[in-house]
């Protein structure tokens, strides 16, 4: 499920969806799947927050808990 959401984040962001909206949709999708979300964000490769431009490399990062297990994954794009 996390991988699926990362791919959705990439596709939505690449289509020009505002970053906050991408992050909110990812959080909602994970919560609906039963995860407790620590974060679901889009950042620059150095992990700083990107500006308004969608140009250049980005990374989607997710940390979420399922039961007592904390799962972390990312996708560079």
Q: Does residue 54 carry a pLDDT above 90? A: no
Give residue 46's domain range.
Answer: 2-76
In this predicted structure, what is the pLDDT of residue 71?
98
Confidence band (pLDDT; 50, 70, 90) for 51? confident
Q: Rounded CA gap, 39 and 42, in Å? A: 10
Tens of pLDDT, residue by residue over 29-48, are 999 999 999 999 999 999 99
Question: Mean pLDDT in the chain?
Answer: 97
User: Is residue 65 over pLDDT 90?
Assistant: yes
Side-chain half-sphere exposure of 37, counting CA atoms within 13 A: 20
Number of domains in the chain: 1
CATH code at position 8 = 3.30.1300.10
Q: What is the pLDDT of residue 53?
A: 87
């Amino acid at each position: 499920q996390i991988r699926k959401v990362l791919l959705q984040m990439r596709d939505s962001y690449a289509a020009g969806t505002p970053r906050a909206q991408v992050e909110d949709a990812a959080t909602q999708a994970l919560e609906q799947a039963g995860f407790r979300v620590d974060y679901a964000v889009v950042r620059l490769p150095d992990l700083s927050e990107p500006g308004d431009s969608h140009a250049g490399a980005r990374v989607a990062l997710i940390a979420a808990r399922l039961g007592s297990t904390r799962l972390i994954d990312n996708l560079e794009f």
